[in-house]
């Protein structure tokens, strides 16, 4: 056994000997003993490797990772069954068919084949996952057992990992841990997902190169201004692994480069539905009450107790996206003897996305209207029309780009100290950064308008809303630039993590796993928006030659959505080159700085540090009886300190400027810091028994946690500038907010009725506590006073004014105190009331703010079932895989109720049906995935309104042909039946969006050396 100094030299040598290259080897693995990797194409492929020791198992320990080989679908399915039988707890997974060949082109789309896993799509591609009804923020993602950072400019506060950043060709397997264990890092209430890459000492000498041509049909359904020049794009990947000095050294390098040009066309109520209102409510935005002007124009009026909403706007959106994704990994291993293996690896990914779009929209101002409604109790407009004249028809455009980069460097050492004792040490530094990749920023919008819109109607009886406009005249009212905004966003996350673990065999059939870890996570999000609110026109139409716009017809871009052929659809859309129009607006206004983004003075800057320390102990034992049993019982202790700093504006005072308006004046910005801490004790228990040789039952119980979103724990207080005489409002995070805690129970039975066939049933129950709710605190700012309740106010009350008659109060103060400290009178308005400003002075009361913050107050339960079938039809080459997941919770959104609600998002049943065929030459797989309706959000752009994603099913097809043992050809088709997606509000007719994309086809070749 090496002595300490010798071991130190060996580890040092392994680190010092590493050379730089890029690699992410993908090796398909199947343990010769039946306890290795999972089947590649299986929809449910458990992996019997501890998450905390995932890196260890791949680091080359001959006792933990026997050399494995997978050849094709059938061998992969056989491996799946062996793994399922030998796993501890509830573990699923997917493994590559072969080196560089993963079942799907996207990791999230592969994960959706597993029972209980659903995905959220972005830009027509899987991005985030929901597991057993638990949303993306509460699922932990690891890379080789290491916690991975994430950065996403579309959600600066989220923790969800974006799987679209990683190419599937570089991955060997994915493990999904649905039950908790002491040696599994916390953070995943739904699941802990471990992405695995290969190791050269396991792979040996092999190499593979592949190339594909991708044709995305959605690109051809875009305007020329937004469309990429090429619909056909390349994908190239390569993997090389070698060993030398009789397996003492190993090197693996891989890289991939992918381009994709795509389009998304969407008809939507972008700014949500105003309300909800009760039928007898007389509020701004509500339809006229009986007897009021316009009431006769309401058909089938909602009953007094019905709930209804009114659309805020209507929008048609065409977005072209050009994506470039680069992945790579270098892995170097050193094994001086059979007892010690060291691994140094570097992983890199970059995802560059350029976006161009155009939009036609109309805004409703809730004036005189004509409408027809469905029956209650939740009424929806069948059509809604506002009678207007000379309003704006908006034709907006955007051109921006983002770049997401991930870097991870790590070192691992595996040492078998003796026959019964082994150790694992792992350390890594990983970063994720998302930023703008264009001089125009990370997002923008340039509005151009014609003020010629007459009566405006939207018909909601089709799949997409149908807009009709009367009187549009682009000659009488030429196009011009109006408002605009340019954003720059930045998000960066860094993780430093050290893990040390060990395993001690204490008896012949018992062992103890132990370990500790230290994890530091630093997250920064910053954002600035340069905005011009010149929605009435930035200058005049004369400043803009009309040939800057190209007239086009709208309906052709929405041909796959019901309603696009409606003769009533307004067809006139005017498109433009964004760069040329932006420059023209900058020249016409003489303010070029207003048409470019900046991050020099962020509006928003949040920095959070989380330091977690953990230790665990787990005891495992087996009983070799007539019905062999295994038990694992463990305990994990986790302690986390949170420090959160945020940029806040400093309030210097409030000015009473109108009847009820008392906006605040800000004197600058400053960083404020808040802190918090929490700790958790997380027990776990796994038990399984072989009832007979082909029947296994399992039970698992454990506690897991999911950490709060970053906006929920941000430091600093944000005060809204629009105060009133009643005070102000604001918001603040709570760094002391505890994580969501779940108590989980799993039961399952598995019947292996044939060598490559199984039927399994799983039941699960989760009791979740500590969900974040909101509370309102009454606070003040030192030295910031308000005239309300002050010297002048009280004098006005003494004169006979009442507190609710603010016109009387203001008139008295202006007549009697004009020119005194804080009082400046202006001219009287048309109603005869004095105008001017009144400020708080010394001795007046301090301003009170209603500060909304987060507290742990919500609880929920989840329960569900998973059934999985895998069957091979003898030696025919045909097989089938099918699974169905049922999930239910006691926390559902009440569509008939007004006000804020707490409900679990992401809950939905899901199903998969996969047919396969394979022989020596051909392999065919047809996979259908279906997800039922689910609640995606409890708010829209207006307020507490639900968003439901309607049921969606997609058919994918892949065909492979082996020309020779070395050369294989492939054809893949994604979304073969060209499905569309739709999102609605409280009723199906209250559409929020209807989206079309298109099928995607790939032809490729792969050569193995």
> Percentage of residues in the chain with pLDDT exceeding 70?
92
> Would you call the peptide bond into 285 cis, given omega within 30 degrees of 0 as the criterion?
no
The per-residue pLDDT for range 536-586, each reduced to its tens digit, is: 999 999 999 999 999 999 999 999 999 999 999 999 999 999 999 999 999
The arithmetic mean of pLDDT across residues 8-34, rounded, is 33
The arithmetic mean of pLDDT across residues 204-213, rounded, is 94
pLDDT above 50: residue 851:
yes
**Angle at Cα 376 formed by Cα 370 and Cα 377, nearest 5°?**
135
Q: Which of 902, 865, 863, 887 is nearest to 770 (CA)?
A: 902
The per-residue pLDDT for range 53-88, each reduced to its tens digit, is: 343 334 333 334 333 343 577 777 777 777 778 888
* Strand, helix or coil for residue 83: helix
Q: List C-alpha distances in Å: 364 to 63, 455, 471, 991.
A: 69, 11, 16, 16
132: left (phi over 0), alpha (psi -120 to 50) or beta: left
The arithmetic mean of pLDDT across residues 682-697, rounded, is 95
Edge-to-edge strand ranges of the sheet holding 173-177: 91-95, 173-177, 192-196, 140-143, 146-147
Q: DSSP class of residue 95? A: E
Q: Which residue matches tokens 């950490």?
A: 707
**Angle at Cα 184 formed by Cα 180 and Cα 28, nearest 5°?**
105
pLDDT given at position 37: 34
Q: pLDDT grade, residue 36 (50/70/90)? A: very low
CB 94 within 8 A of CB 114: yes
- 192-196 and 140-143 beta bridge pairing: parallel
Domain 4-215 has CATH 3.40.190.170: no
pLDDT given at position 93: 80
Q: Which residue matches tokens 């061998």?
A: 75
CB atoms within 10 A of CB 390: 13
Q: Which residue matches tokens 């028994």?
A: 689
Q: Which residue matches tokens 């207007």?
A: 388
**Angle at Cα 318 formed by Cα 313 and Cα 323, nearest 5°?**
135
SS3 for 348-410 is EEEEEEEEEEEEEEEECCCCCEEEEECCCCEECEEEEEECCCCEEEEEEEEEEEEEEEEEEEE
pLDDT above 60: residue 433:
yes
pLDDT given at position 507: 85
Angstrom distance (rounded) from CA 276 to CA 942? 10
* Strand, helix or coil for residue 826: strand
The arithmetic mean of pLDDT across residues 174-200, rounded, is 89
* Strand, helix or coil for residue 516: strand
pLDDT given at position 44: 32
The arithmetic mean of pLDDT across residues 690-706, rounded, is 95
Non-local CB neighbours of 961 within 8 Å, separated by 6+ positions: 921, 922, 923, 968, 969, 970
User: What does the block give as tokens for 79?
Assistant: 């491996």
Top mean-pLDDT range of 452-466, 799-813, 853-867: 452-466
CB 999 within 8 A of CB 975: yes
pLDDT above 90: residue 983:
yes
Q: pLDDT grade, residue 638 (50/70/90)? A: very high
What is the reported pTM? 0.87
pLDDT given at position 940: 87
Angle between helices 806-817 and 791-798 (to 10 degrees): 110
Helix (H) / strand (E) element for 544: namely none
The per-residue pLDDT for range 871-923, each reduced to its tens digit, is: 999 889 999 999 999 999 988 999 999 888 888 888 999 999 999 999 999 99
pLDDT above 50: residue 33:
no
pLDDT given at position 2: 40
What number of residues does the chain have? 1009
pLDDT above 90: residue 500:
yes
User: What does the block give as tokens for 315?
Assistant: 């929008």
Non-local CB neighbours of 644 within 8 Å, separated by 6+ positions: 606, 607, 608, 609, 673, 674, 675, 676, 713, 714, 715, 716, 733, 735
308: left (phi over 0), alpha (psi -120 to 50) or beta: beta
The arithmetic mean of pLDDT across residues 839-857, rounded, is 90
pLDDT above 70: residue 34:
no
Non-local CB neighbours of 586 within 8 Å, separated by 6+ positions: 592, 594, 595
Angstrom distance (rounded) from CA 852 to CA 714? 13
Q: pLDDT grade, residue 158 (50/70/90)? A: confident
> Would you call the peptide bond into 276 cis, given omega within 30 degrees of 0 as the criterion?
yes
pLDDT given at position 259: 96
CB 405 within 8 A of CB 349: yes
Return the domain boundaries, the chain: 4-215, 787-844
CB 838 within 8 A of CB 822: yes
Angstrom distance (rounded) from CA 850 to CA 778? 5
pLDDT given at position 98: 63
Candidate from 169-178, 699-708, 816-825 with smallest mean pLDDT: 169-178
pLDDT given at position 512: 97
* Strand, helix or coil for residue 7: helix
* Strand, helix or coil for residue 98: strand
How many helical (H) and strand (E) elements, i.e. helices and strands, does the chain have?
Answer: 8, 48
The arithmetic mean of pLDDT across residues 765-790, rounded, is 89
Angstrom distance (rounded) from CA 50 to CA 818? 76
* Strand, helix or coil for residue 137: helix
Q: pLDDT grade, residue 800 (50/70/90)? A: very high
- 572-576 and 549-553 beta bridge pairing: antiparallel
């Amino acid at each position: 056994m090496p002595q300490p100094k010798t071991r130190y030299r060996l580890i040092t040598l392994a680190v010092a000997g590493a050379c730089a290259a890029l690699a992410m080897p993908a090796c398909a693995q199947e343990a010769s003993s039946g306890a290795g990797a999972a089947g590649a194409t299986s929809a449910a492929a458990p992996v019997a490797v501890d998450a905390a020791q995932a890196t260890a198992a791949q680091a080359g320990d001959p006792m933990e990772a026997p050399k494995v080989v997978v050849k094709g679908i059938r061998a992969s399915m056989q491996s799946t069954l062996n793994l399922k039988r030998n796993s501890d707890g509830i573990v699923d997974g997917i493994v590559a068919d072969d080196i560089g060949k993963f079942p799907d082109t996207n990791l999230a789309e592969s994960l959706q084949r597993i029972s209980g896993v659903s995905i959220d799509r972005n830009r027509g591609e899987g991005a985030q996952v929901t597991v057993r009804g638990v949303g993306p923020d509460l699922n932990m993602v690891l890379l080789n057992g290491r916690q991975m950072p994430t950065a996403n400019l579309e959600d600066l506060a989220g923790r969800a990992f974006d799987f679209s950043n990683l190419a599937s060709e570089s991955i060997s397997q994915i493990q999904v841990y649905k039950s908790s264990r002491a040696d599994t890092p916390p953070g995943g209430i739904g699941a802990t997902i471990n992405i695995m890459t290969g190791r050269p000492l396991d792979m040996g000498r092999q190499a593979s190169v592949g190339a594909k041509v991708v044709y995305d049909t959605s690109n051809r359904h875009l305007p020329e201004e937004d469309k990429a020049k090429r619909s056909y794009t390349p994908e190239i990947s390569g993997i090389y692994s070698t060993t030398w000095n009789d397996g003492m050294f190993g090197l693996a390098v891989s890289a991939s480069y992918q381009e994709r040009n795509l389009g998304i066309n969407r008809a939507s109520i972008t700014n949500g539905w105003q309300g909800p209102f009760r039928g007898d409510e007389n509020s701004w935005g509500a339809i006229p009450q009986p007897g009021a002007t316009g009431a006769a124009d309401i058909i089938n009026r909602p009953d007094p107790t019905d709930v209804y909403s009114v659309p805020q706007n209507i929008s048609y959106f065409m977005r072209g996206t050009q994506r470039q994704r680069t992945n790579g990994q270098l892995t170097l291993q050193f094994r001086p003897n059979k007892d010690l293996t060291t691994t140094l690896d570097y992983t890199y990914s970059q995802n560059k996305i350029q976006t161009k779009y155009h939009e036609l929209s109309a805004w409703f101002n809730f004036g005189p209207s004509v409408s027809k409604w469905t029956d209650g109790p939740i009424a929806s407009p069948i059509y809604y029309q506002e009678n207007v004249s000379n309003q704006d028809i908006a034709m907006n455009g955007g051109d921006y780009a983002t770049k997401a980069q991930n870097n991870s460097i790590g070192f691992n050492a595996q040492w078998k100290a003796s026959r019964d004792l082994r150790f694992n040490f792992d350390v890594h530094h990983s970063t994720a950064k998302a930023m703008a990749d264009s001089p125009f920023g990370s997002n923008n919008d340039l509005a151009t308008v014609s003020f010629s819109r007459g009566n405006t109607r939207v018909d909601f009886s089709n799949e997409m809303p149908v807009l009709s406009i009367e009187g549009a005249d682009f000659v009488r009212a030429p196009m011009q630039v109006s408002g605009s905004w340019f954003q720059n966003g930045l998000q960066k996350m860094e993780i430093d993590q050290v893990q040390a673990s060990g395993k001690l065999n204490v008896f012949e059939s018992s062992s103890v796993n132990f370990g500790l870890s230290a994890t530091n996570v630093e997250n920064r999000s910053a954002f600035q928006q340069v905005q011009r609110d010149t929605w009435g026109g930035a200058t005049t139409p004369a400043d803009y030659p009309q040939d800057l716009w190209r007239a086009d017809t709208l309906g052709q871009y929405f041909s796959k959505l019901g309603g696009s052929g409606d003769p009533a659809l307004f067809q006139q859309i005017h498109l433009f080159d964004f760069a040329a129009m932006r420059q023209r607006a900058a020249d016409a206004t003489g303010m070029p700085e207003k048409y470019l983004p900046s991050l020099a003075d962020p509006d928003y800057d949040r920095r959070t540090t989380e330091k977690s320390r953990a230790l665990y102990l787990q005891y495992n034992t087996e009983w070799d009886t007539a019905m062999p049993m295994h038990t694992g019982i463990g305990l994990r202790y986790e302690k986390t300190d949170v420090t959160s700093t945020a940029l806040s504006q400093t309030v210097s005072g409030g000015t009473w400027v109108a009847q009820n308006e008392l906006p605040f004046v800000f004197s600058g910005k400053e960083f404020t810091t808040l802190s918090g801490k929490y700790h958790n004790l997380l027990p776990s228990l796994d038990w399984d028994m072989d009832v007979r040789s082909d029947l296994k039952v399992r039970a698992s119980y454990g506690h897991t946690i999911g950490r709060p979103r970053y906006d929920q724990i941000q430091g600093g207080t944000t005060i809204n500038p629009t105060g009133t005489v009643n005070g102000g409002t604001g918001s603040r995070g709570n760094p002391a907010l505890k994580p969501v805690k779940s108590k989980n129970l799993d039961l399952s039975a598995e019947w292996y009725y044939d060598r490559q066939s199984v039927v399994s049933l799983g039941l699960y129950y989760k009791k979740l506590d500590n969900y974040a709710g909101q509370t309102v605190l009454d606070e003040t700012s030192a030295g910031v006073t308000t005239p309300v309740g002050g010297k002048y106010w009280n004098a006005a009350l003494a004169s006979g004014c009442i507190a609710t008659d603010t016109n009387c109060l203001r008139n008295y103060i202006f007549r009697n105190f004009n020119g005194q400290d804080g009082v400046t009178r202006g001219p009287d308005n048309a109603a005869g009331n004095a105008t001017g400003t009144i400020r708080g002075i010394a001795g007046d009361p301090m301003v009170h703010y209603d500060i909304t913050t987060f507290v742990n107050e919500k609880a929920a339960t989840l329960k569900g079932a998973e059934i999985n079938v895998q069957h091979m039809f003898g030696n025919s080459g045909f097989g089938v895989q099918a699974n169905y997941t049922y999930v239910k919770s006691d926390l559902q959104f009440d569509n008939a109720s007004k006000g804020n609600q707490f409900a679990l998002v992401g809950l939905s049943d899901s199903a998969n049906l996969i047919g396969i065929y394979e022989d020596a030459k051909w392999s065919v797989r047809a996979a259908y995935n279906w997800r039922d309706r689910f609640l995606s959000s409890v708010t829209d752009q207006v307020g507490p309104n639900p968003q439901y994603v309607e049921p969606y099913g997609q058919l994918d097809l892949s065909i492979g042909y082996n020309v020779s043992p070395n050369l294989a050809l492939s054809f893949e088709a994604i979304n073969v039946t060209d499905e569309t997606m739709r999102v609605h509000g409280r009723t199906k007719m209250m559409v929020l969006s209807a989206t079309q994309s298109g099928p995607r086809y790939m032809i490729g070749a792969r050569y193995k050396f």
